[in-house]
Structure 1
């Protein structure tokens, strides 16, 4: 626990439905941004994805 009394609990391996919102975001980000573009450096990725 930290100073705010928040306890971190890891999800079980091979059980992504326990973290469905993050898994959905990762999939959408990968398909819509990373797979749709050709990047030659991390700086290019940062430029495309910054708010």
Structure 2
């Protein structure tokens, strides 16, 4: 399932970490880099921050 989800996302960079780097931080970083959206994929505990245009 992870490989199917990751195909929807363009660029992944930071590892998400509960209490430190979560969806808000990921979204903020993606917007700052010029993307339209960002989220932890596949999830907030084990995922990476991935951005889409």
Same structural fold, with TM-score higher than 0.5 when normalized by the shorter chain: no
Which structure ranks higher in relative contact order (CA pairs < 8 Å, sequence separation ≥ 6)?
2
Structure index of larger Rg: 1
Q: TM-score under structure 1 normalisation?
A: 0.28
